[in-house]
Amino acid sequence: MDVVSTWTGRSACALQEALRDTNEAFAARLGVATRTVAGWHADEGIVPRAEMQAALDTAYERAGDAVQRRFTLLSRPTVAPEVQALRVAIAIVVRGAEVLLVCRRGEDSLRWQFPAGVVKPGASSEAVAVSETLGETGVHAAVLRQLGSRLHPTTGVMADYYLCDYLAGDATNRDAVENLDVAWVPLAALSRFIPTDTIYPPILTALEAA
């Protein structure tokens, strides 16, 4: 049997829930006013006075094993849900000796980059790379393999990179809000659009092989 060293409003409420008592029933069990129980719900950090600590000890000790097991589960510290870091999926779509690029509208400049999209919690990064490419450019693509992941040095977000094969579709700007243009760029001319030293090295390796 677990021992409660110090009862608080939170642990008292957990015992009440384990007993499946209403505020009135729990107050009657402890011999206190209903407003006292309500006060524990309002301030879970409150520490009841000494005689109330003893009353809660007694109520817990008299509870059956099933109630005590429920209390143990209910009184465990609440673990905050894990927050997923911002993640993007980036598609490097190759068609022969060309690669697909989009021209993003920045706050004070334009920049060329590979099609990309934010990966929402629970979504597949690989699927996002394909769907965002289609949504931005009208190009159907299929993932050949993942090239790797890194914390992007400029944006600070986690980026997943996928080498993709062109399947069908004409490259058109389907997101005029974010993009100014879409283009198939010759691999030999890629550095004119994106500085080579800013490109993830595995991308360059894959494009050289292509």
Q: Tens of pLDDT along 149-195?
A: 998 887 788 999 999 999 999 999 998 888 999 999 999 999 999 99
Q: Supply the pTM of this predicted model.
A: 0.60
Quick one: DSSP state of residue 36? H
Instruction: State the angle between helix axes of 50-62 and 23-30 in degrees (0 to 180), rounded to the nearest 10.
Output: 100
In sequence order, the β-bridge partners of residue 102 are: 113, 182
CA 78 to each of CA 53, 71, 120, 205: distance values in angstroms, whole numbers, following the listed order: 23, 14, 24, 47
- Provide the 3-class DSSP secondary structure of residue 62: helix
Q: Tens of pLDDT along 40-65?
A: 998 888 999 889 999 999 999 999 89
**How many angstroms separate the CA atoms of 91 and 121, rounded?**
19
**How many angstroms separate the CA atoms of 180 and 130, rounded?**
20
Question: Residue 154 has what pLDDT?
Answer: 78
What mean pLDDT is predicted for residues 133-158? 92
Query: Between these two residues, 156 and 198, which has the higher pLDDT value?
Result: 198
What mean pLDDT is predicted for residues 121-146? 95
Question: Residue 8 has what pLDDT?
Answer: 93
Question: Residue 153 has what pLDDT?
Answer: 80
**How many angstroms separate the CA atoms of 75 and 82, rounded?**
20
